[in-house]
A and B are shown apart, each in its own frame.
Chain A
Amino acid sequence: MPAIYSFKLLIKLILSIGAFILLSYCFHPGRFAKNTYDHIDIDDIPDHLSCSPEFSKVCQIEQSPFCVVLLNRRMKKLAYPNRDVSESFLRNLSTTLHINPGGVWKPLECISKFRVAIIVPYRDRAMQLNIFLSYMHPFLQAQMLEYRIVIVEQSEHLPFNRAKLFNIGFVETLKIHPYHCFIFHDVDLIPQNTNNIYACTHQPRHMSSSVNTFRYNLPYNDLFGGVVSMLKEQFEDVNGFSNAFYGWGGEDDDFWNRLNYKGLQICRFSPDVAKYVMLSHKKEPPSQTRYISLKAGMKRFESDGLNNLNYKVLKLEYHPLYTRILADLISADVPYESQ
């Protein structure tokens, strides 16, 4: 029965081709996250840190009167935030930790070579903000940094625009004090390892490369969202974030493209050091905007960003634990077409 035999052969062929396609789909490397990537080892961290301009000549000196970058190489236990913070505890925090109005602190017994502004966009998440503030102040003080926490709040109308709030926070903070290092921080991310130094490296740094909601893996190599640190000059060089991303997602990938366009390389700390825990459980599919080609965005990099920033500051308040900027976005921004 040759007909039956050839038929069986055909079935076998189809099945094996199907199995091959299935296997190559299942094991395609592009579908997976990473747990190893190029990073700065914990021992090399002090060499990579960038000091404030006035200390640039003495940046490598690690003795008094300057503060020492404390690294605990044996640290194994991860820190977790205390999730129920009472109002009275928060009220007393500024006096117990000697924080100046506006969420400003500097070490008393030594001079910090790092002056850092932490910009946090915010809307309507009081619970998370309380946890964030009660955790971050002791965390930053343990690292002997001179810092300020700036909460940039968006007024009620218009959808949330994280990227534009970063730009506003950057511009307004520079009016208060000439910080040289900026950390763009989400309110729901909490660093778990004290070795994750909150100062700028010479290259822009993706700080939250190992978040618990991503199973402590890096979803893709071009991810540059969550917590990001940058020098003032670099941020001005790339013309800040795009103002056009309302709602969720895409702005970090666009920012990555801007860095790429200007030829800026990013760096990360090792997965052990860069561990973060996320307070909210928002789950979104990885945004497709990361596939926007560099060419399509390139036209906007020069025209959309810090140089066309359009907003109105409604309130500038110095709260005990943070500087609050309430901003009203004036929407003249041309939004990206949804992909």
Chain B
Amino acid sequence: MVDMKSDNFTTVVTEKNPLCCCEYLNLKQERSHILGYCCDCQELDDGVERLISGKETTSKYSICDVIKDRLRVPWIGGAKKIAPSDILPVILQPILAFVAAQNYFLLIVVFVIIFLMLFNLRDYLIKTHLNTNFYVIWALTSAILIFAVFELKVVPLLEIVPIENVQLFCLLGLSIFFIYKVRKTCLPPQISLDDKTSLSNCSSVYCRICQKLYPVRTYHCKICRVCIPKMDHHSFWLGCCIGERNHGFFLMSLIFLISALLYATNLILTTICQPFLLFNIILLPENCSDVYYESDLSYNLFLSKFQHCSMLCQWNVLSISGSIVAAPVASAMLVYISGYYKQGMVQLQM
């Protein structure tokens, strides 16, 4: 049955018959569909057989390879493959936020876990998965999470003024724009300075990996596998190198992102906590102790009303944890800008 189906399907992608957004070519270069995720389990059968009989089987690919290959999202011109480490943040972040929303102790635990995880995973990923998008997706997910919580849970409490919404929107928009620019101008232009005539010997360096001459302060990036002029560092959060071309954009994106995150955190916390006015101008959160329990609502509530309220409190805390999830992004960026982490950079010889 399965074989017949694959025979009927034209395995060749022609101009007349291109891939639709849910189709892709699998490991054997056959046309497959996303919906067939759990069908055609040749490799699983072989794996189980090998487990039982202990004999070598004919199949070329392991179960893991097939599972990884089938993990795809619909895309124009064929479904796109995504690495398991890329969807991890999307699943992990809401779960962590939900756990942190339960009580104060769990919030601290989750906060510590996130911090340790993000910084230890980095060293692990440098050794194994150099091209991972884990951090990019993590940053993106937390940005979307904080925005969604703000728009869907905080604004309906009717305490935010329209102008504050616009300001936050602009800050987020500008930071996303500059991150886009940073990524666009990631790699250096292809005109490498290998013609020795233009460079005097004392102001150039030779890269043994690229086998080319470059101006001074150029470094080779192991992850991007290119030489970057005036390289600062490879940013894991943005998934690209920061060098001569995008240094300005990088700084701007940092400034706007940090201010957007701080502003969003302040708006959320002043809404759900007890705020106070500093110097009669700046509204700051004062007392957030009541977010976790509803003992203050000791008036006789109707049951439905009570449930509604406790649901609300849960979501409020989720918004706090959302902002806390986003906070490491900003702090890590601050660490990175100081040039403390220079891993992945190869010093070139003069």
The answer to whether A and B come from one shared complex is yes
| Interface pair A26/B159, CB less than 8 Å apart | no
Q: Tell me how many residues of B have a C-beta within 8 Å of chain A.
A: 44
Chain A window 206-219, contacts with chain B (Cβ cutoff 8 Å), 1 for yes, 0 for no: 00000011111101
Listed stretches A106-114, A167-175, A274-282; interface member:
A274-282
| A-B contact sample (5 more), CB < 8 A, given A159-B300, A217-B159, A219-B159 | A4-B18, A213-B275, A247-B301, A285-B156, A338-B302
A27–B166 Cα gap in the complex (Å)?
8
Q: Which residue of A lies closest to B270 (CB)?
A: A215
**Among all A-B residue pairs, the 4 with the closest Cβ atoms:** A219-B158, A159-B300, A281-B290, A32-B162
The answer to whether A78 and B277 have CB atoms under 8 Å apart is yes
Decide: A29 and B77 in contact? CB cutoff 8 A: no
Q: Is the CB of A32 within 8 A of B76?
A: no
Using A27-B165, A32-B161 as known contacts, say yes or no to A123 and B299 having CB atoms under 8 A apart.
yes
In the complex, A11 has a CB within 8 A of chain B? yes
| Beta-carbon contacts under 8 Å, A279-315 to B | 280-286
Whole-angstrom distance between the Cβ of A140 and the nearest chain B Cβ: 23
A/B interface sample: 24 pairs, CB < 8 A: A1-B15, A4-B77, A26-B169, A27-B166, A31-B155, A31-B158, A34-B161, A78-B277, A124-B298, A159-B301, A160-B299, A215-B283, A217-B159, A219-B159, A220-B158, A247-B301, A248-B299, A281-B296, A283-B157, A283-B312, A283-B316, A285-B309, A286-B156, A338-B304
- Per the 8 Å Cβ criterion, residues 135-158 of B in contact with A are 151, 155-158
- Counting CB contacts under 8 A, is A35 at the interface? yes
Are A286 and B165 in touch, CB under 8 angstroms? no
* Interface of chain B residues 251 through 294 with chain A (CB within 8 A): 270-277, 280, 283, 287, 289-290
Q: What's the Cα separation between A89 and B61 when bound, in Å?
A: 82
With A76-B280, A212-B274 as contacts: A285 and B308 at CB distance below 8 Å: yes
What is the CA–CA distance of A7 and B271 in the complex, to the nearest angstrom?
A: 44
B191 CB–A CB distance under 8 Å = no
Interface of chain B: mostly helix, strand, loop or mixed: mixed
A3 at the interface (CB under 8 A from B): yes
Complex formed: what's the CA distance from A220 to B302 in Å?
Answer: 25
Does B287 lie within 8 Å of A281, measured CB to CB?
yes
The CA-CA distance from A158 to B299 in the complex, in Å, is 10
Interface centre among A7, A25, A283, A286 (most CB of B within 10 A): A283
Q: Which residues from chain A sit less than 8 Å from chain B, CB to CB?
A: 1, 3-4, 7-8, 11, 25-27, 29, 31-35, 76-78, 123-124, 158-160, 212-217, 219-220, 246-249, 278, 280-286, 338
Query: Is B333 positioned at the interface, with any CB of A under 8 Å from its CB?
Result: no
Which of B159, B280, B296, B299 gathers most chain A CB within 10 Å? Answer: B159
Q: Does B176 lie at the interface of the complex (its beta carbon under 8 Å from any beta carbon of A)?
A: no
Contact: A33 with B160, CB < 8 Å? yes
Which residues on B are within 8 Å of A, measured CB to CB? Answer: 15, 18, 21, 76-77, 151, 155-162, 165-166, 169, 270-277, 280, 283, 287, 289-290, 296-302, 304-305, 308-309, 312-313, 316
- How distant is the Cα of A283 from the Cα of B274 in the complex, in angstroms? 10
Assembly CA distance A248 to B277 (angstroms): 28
Chain B's closest residue to A80 (CB) is: B276
Residue from B76, B275, B308 in contact with A212 in the complex, judged by beta carbons closer than 8 Å: B275
Name the B residues within 8 Å of A283 (CB-CB).
Answer: 157, 272, 290, 309, 312-313, 316
Pairwise interchain contact B300-A27, C-beta atoms closer than 8 A? no
Q: Is the beta-carbon distance between A247 and B76 smaller than 8 angstroms? A: no
Chain B residues lying within 8 Å of A280, measured Cβ to Cβ, are 296
Question: Contacts of A248 on B, CB cut-off 8 Å?
Answer: 297, 299, 301, 305
**B222 CB to nearest A CB, Å:** 36
Residues in chain A near residue B15, CB distance under 8 A: 1
* Assembly CA distance A246 to B300 (angstroms): 9
What residues on A are CB-neighbors of B287 within 8 Å? 281
Q: Tell me how far the C-beta of B344 lies from the nearest C-beta in chain A, rounded to whole angstroms.
A: 35
B300 and A29 within 8 A (CB)? no
**Residues on the A chain within 8 Å of B280, using CB:** 76-78
User: Which of B156, B277, B289 is close to A31, meaning CB atoms less than 8 Å apart?
Assistant: B156
